[in-house]
Structure 1
Amino acid sequence: MSNVKLLVSVFLGATLIAGVAAQEKKIYRWVDKDGKVQISDQLPPDAVDKARKEYNAKTGSLKNDVQSQLSPAEKAAAEHQAQAEAAVMAEAEKAKRIEQSMLINYATEQDLQRFFDERTDLLKQTIISLKASIQSRRAFLISSLNEMSEAEINGQTLDAGKLKMLAETQALVAEQTAQMDRLNVSYRALQAEFAKTLDKYRSMKAEADSRRIVLPVDAGAAPAQP
């Protein structure tokens, strides 16, 4: 009798295992390396790391949606993309804070103008001083060259020290001229920035004014006595 019970237990156990195996049998759907959709109850080794959907073989219901495993290069690219997107979002948030503080710090356009004037005044003074220095050195060069030309015509020996000084002065004038050109570019850029900022300020100011709630006057109320 015990042998019969043992056989029955083994049979029931095998049946149960077979039932569980049948219940857990899956159908896989994935896209192969050629871009073709594949459907099978066997998953090949080259598809293990690929994105796929797993369905219950018995009911056809979706059991799992497996995402593809990224290679080191793909992971690095994804991280780089995430960092770039985070930087863009941070920059946008910074611009938003600056715009919001603009309305708080500058009550009128004149206040905003004064702020930019403070930024441009030093730049303007530097350009003016540099221009005066260039003009002075150019005048010195012209005068010295005229003197040396007269000396050469009269057969006089040209002074080596003065020739060296003239060469150094000419190089300094060229350097200062290039510096002034850069400062002029910066000044024009600052003016363009102010025009853009002023347009933005006016737009935000108009939007802020439109959001203010104006209480209607009660037509039936008696006017206030002076």
Structure 2
Amino acid sequence: MRPNPSTAVAGMLLALAALAAPALAQNKPADTGKKLYCWDNARGERTCSDTLPPEAVNSARQEFNARSGLRGAEVQRALTAEERADAELAAAQAQVDAAAAETRRRTEQAMLSTYGSEDALRRVFNERAAIVDNNIKTAIYNVGSLREALATQLSVAGDRELAGQKVADKQAGDIRQRHTELLAQLRLQAAFEQQRKALDVEIAETLARYRELKGIAAPADAAGAPASPPG
């Protein structure tokens, strides 16, 4: 009796499947999901486990493949709030520094293309210098006026005390108020004078950079002191 062709084909397919099964099993990737964690505990002791306890989540650790033993990753410890703030500040400062460098580059390009001489560049600072100089003059005038008025009030109060009379509360209050105003004006005067010094430095540095970019030598009087604030 001749074999049934359909039965013969089915038998061949079953035989091929049986031969392919071991090969497929060998090519199947191993389960790599299981990890082994190693970290230092609070006492500095090395600890390893296939589970990561909550207290170790923020600790520096190494992760290994539990099946192969190969190291898969190294995780740094979580930053503290202060460290995060410092890192954010450093990143912000780096951004500001980069922006400042770019601004300076553009400013220098504009300076070269816009100003044909040092005098033209100096005129840019004239308005700022005039404002600061006027503030200094006003503060000096106010200090002088307040000092003179305070001296007069103190003299009158002194005469009353020498005459055996009591200094009135209102008069004493006026003296204290005038003294407070005088101190405030003195602080303003000092601040304005400091602004003028800073502006002089800025002008000198800008002119020096301009000469450097232009490739020109400084004039003979460039080393002279900048104009001082009005007295």
User: Of residues 53, 68, 87 in structure 2, which corresponds to 1:42?
Assistant: 68
Task: Give yes or no for the alignment of 1:197 onto 2:206.
Answer: yes
| Number of the residue aligned with 2:106 | 97
- Provide the C-alpha distance between the structure 2 equivalents of 1:85 and 1:141, rounded to a whole number of angstroms: 51
Question: By percentage of residues, which structure has more helix?
Answer: 1
Kindly tell me: are residues 14 and 88 of structure 1, through their superposed partners in 2, closer, same or farther at Cα, counting changes over 3 Å?
Answer: farther
Distance (Å, rounded) in 1 between the aligned partners of 2:176 and 2:92? 52
Which residue among 136, 140, 145 is the counterpart of 1:131? 140
For 1:1-226, what aligned pairs fall within 5 Å after superposition? 1-2=8-9, 4-14=11-21, 16-17=23-24, 20-21=27-28, 42-43=68-69, 47-48=71-72, 50=73, 80=88, 85-206=94-215
Amino acid at match of 1:101: A
Cα distance in 2 between the residues matched to 1:109 and 1:134 = 36
Q: 1:104 to 1:180 in 2, by over 3 A?
A: same
Counterpart of 1:8, as a letter, is A
Shift, 1:13, TM fit: 2.1
> In the TM superposition, what is the alpha-carbon distance from 1:157 to its structure 2 partner?
3.8
Shift in Å, 1:82: 6.0
Report the Cα distance in structure 1 between the residues aligned to 2:92 and 2:139, rounded to whole angstroms: 43
Using CA pairs below 8 Å that are at least 6 residues apart, which structure has the higher relative contact order?
A: 2
Q: CA deviation at 1:114?
A: 1.6
Query: How does the TM-score come out when normalised to structure 2?
Result: 0.62
* CA–CA distance in structure 1, aligned partners of residues 91 and 12 of structure 2: 63
Give the Cα–Cα distance (whole angstroms) in 1 for the partners of residues 147 and 113 of structure 2. Answer: 49
Paired position in structure 2 for 1:216: none
Q: Give the deviation of 1:169 after TM superposition.
A: 0.6
TM-score (norm 1): 0.63
Change in 2 beyond 3 A, CA 1:86/1:170:
closer
- Could you say what the CA RMSD is over the residues aligned between the two structures, in angstroms? 3.9
Gaps of 5+ in 1: 26-31, 52-67, 208-226
**Per the alignment, do residues 171 and 40 of structure 1 end up closer, same or farther by CA in structure 2, a change over 3 Å counting?**
closer
Deviation of the 1:17 alpha carbon? 2.0
Indicate how the Cα distance of structure 1 residues 104 and 138 shifts in structure 2: closer, same or farther if over 3 A, else same.
Answer: same
